[in-house]
Each structure stands twice: as C-alpha cells, then as structure tokens.
Amino acid sequence: MTDALDRPTSILVLGGTSDIALATVRALRSPALHRVVLAARPSAGREEAVASLTADGVAGVTAVDFDAAATESHEGVLAAAFATGDVDVVLVAFGVLGDQQEFEDDPDLAVEAAQVNYVGALSVCLRAARHLTGQGHGSLVVLSSVAGERARRSNFVYGSTKAGLDALASGLADALHGSGAHVLVVRPGFVRTGMTTHLEPAPLSVTAEQVADAVVSGLRRGSTVVYVPAAMRVVMSGLRHLPRAVFRRLPI
C-alpha cells in the first residue's frame, strides 16, 4: 500500500534497465520502499541496475527475467511479482525506438518493434490491471510518448506503436476508474537517455530525472496523463491542429 505520504512500498518495473525507469525508482525511494523488482532480459546492464539502485540505498532490489516480446511468459512474471506481496506501482518502461528508414526497408523489423512496444505492452498492461484491481489499490505507470499523438514522417512506425499503447493505456485508465487501481499515462518529448544517445536532442528535450519527477507528482496528484516537459501539452495541442500539408513539411 502506498502510504499516506505517497510513498510506495513496492515497485515492479517492466523494462527494468530503462534509464527513465531507474530514475523513477530513485525518485520514489524512501524508507517505506522495501521491494523493487526489475523485470528485464538478462544482461550485464541488468546486474548493474540492481547494484546501482542498491548502492543508492534502495532496499530489496532484485531482478527477474522478462522479455517483452515473449507474451506467453508474461503472466508468470506478473503473478510471481504479485504473489510475493502487494505491488504499489507497476512501471511499464520497455520500448525500442528503431530507425524509421530501416523499418521501411525491412518491415520485419517494424513488426518486431511493434511486437515489443505495442503487443508486449498490451499484454503486460492488461495483466497488471487484473492484478492491481484484484488487490484493490495500486498504480500502473505507462511510458507512452508524444510521438504517438501525431505520427510524424520521420518516425511514424515508432509513433504508431506508441499511439496504440497510448490508446490502450488511456482506455484502461477509464476502465479502472473506481477500482482502487489507477493508470498514469506518461507522454515525454525527447528524453536524453540510452535510447536517444545517437540523436541530436530536439527542442524542449529533458532528462530521465525530469520524467521521473513528473511521474512522482502525477502519482501524487492522481493524474491520468502527464506531459514532460509540461509545455509539451501545449505544443502537441498546436501540432495536432496543424493542417496536414503544413505538418508534413515541418522539420520534425
């Protein structure tokens, strides 16, 4: 149970090596937090994530195997995490950005990305929702993206996967209303993380820590959607209403 001072006691991260996720766990760190499960594919990065959170004073950090594309294994991963005790926050943070040109050249790659970003996320979100409503409390935090709000020429495959995920998460937020469980959809702009190191930062770019802070305050307020930075909400609302002919020619 997240306590009266908004401090979760347990967190399950799906995509346990994500920079944004790890920053979020750090931001939610408190004496009340005593269990953090990092679900991720086995890797040196995963071991390092466990070690670095532990070194930062987060108690009870463990890793479990999880592949977002292997949907048949998802129920086992979630059930095991919930069987050990209530989970106060489930963070869905895995995702692949990919390369638009490669997706267009090799649609199999695009299918793989969709398999992770959309199908995998659909699978864990629906399952997590069942577990959270079963315990009558808890939050599902879903890393969506502004890229899903209006697909751009330069990354519409990725954008489409996030559009699907965003629609799913928003629908779940309504479905869970009154269940005791709650969904927070996070729509960051450009975040300077491992996912984007190879790219030139876009305007209004933020750090993983800024996303983490927005998640913390969104949870505190019980918000359904947060944009990071907050100004992105206005930008996106403008972009959504641009005529297609103009939008197409924007250098974004």
Ligand X SMILES: NC(=O)c1ccc[n+]([C@@H]2O[C@H](COP(=O)([O-])OP(=O)(O)OC[C@H]3O[C@@H](n4cnc5c(N)ncnc54)[C@H](OP(=O)(O)O)[C@@H]3O)[C@@H](O)[C@H]2O)c1
Positions that interact with another protein (CB under 8 A): 1-7, 9, 30-32, 34, 85-86, 133-137, 178-180
Residue nearest to ligand X (CB): 95
- Residue 95 binding result from another protein, ligand X, none, given CB thresholds of 5 to 8 Å by partner type: ligand X
Residue closest to 173 by CA, chosen among 213, 220, 133: 133
Query: What would the x/- binding string for ligand X be over residues 38 to 57, using CB under 6 A?
Result: --xx-x-x------------
Q: Which one of ligand X, another protein, none interacts with residue 30, CB within 5 to 8 A by kind?
A: another protein
Binding string, 100-119, against ligand X, x = CB under 6 A?
----------------x---
Helix (H) or strand (E) holding 19: helix 19-27
Task: Give the interface segment with ligand X, choosing from 1-9, 57-65, 93-101, 214-222 (CB under 6 A).
Answer: 93-101
- Judged by CB under 6 A, the stretch of 35-43, 100-108, 149-157, 166-174 that binds ligand X is 35-43
- Which residue type, as a one-letter code, is found at position 123? S
CA angle 100, 104, 105 (to 5 degrees): 115
Distances (CA, A) of 137 to 184, 202, 215: 14, 37, 17
Binding partner selected for residue 25 from ligand X, another protein, none, CB under the kind-specific 5 to 8 Å limit: none
227 is catalytic: no
Q: Measured from the CB of residue 4, what is the shortest distance to ligand X in angstroms?
A: 29
**Closer CB to another protein, residue 41 or residue 137?**
137
With CB under 5 to 8 Å by kind, the binding choice for 195 among another protein, ligand X, none is ligand X
Write the DSSP string, 135-196.
Answer: HT-EEEEEE--GGGTS--GGGHHHHHHHHHHHHHHHHHHHHTTTSSEEEEEEEES-B-SGGG
- Which of another protein, ligand X, none does 163 bind, CB closer than 5 to 8 A by kind? none
Q: What share of the chain is helix, strand, coil (3-state, %, to 5)?
A: 50, 15, 35
The tokens for 17 are 């090596």
CA 230 – CA 97 distance, rounded (Å) = 22
Selected binder of ligand X within 190, 212, 214, 232 (CB under 6 A): 190
DSSP per residue over 199-249, as a string?
SPPPTT-B-HHHHHHHHHHHHHHT-SEEEESTTHHHHHHHHHHS-HHHHHH
* Residues annotated as catalytic (active site), given as ranges: 158
Applying CB under 6 A, the residues found at the interface with ligand X are: 15, 17-20, 40-41, 43, 45, 66-69, 93-96, 116, 143, 145, 188, 190-191, 193-196
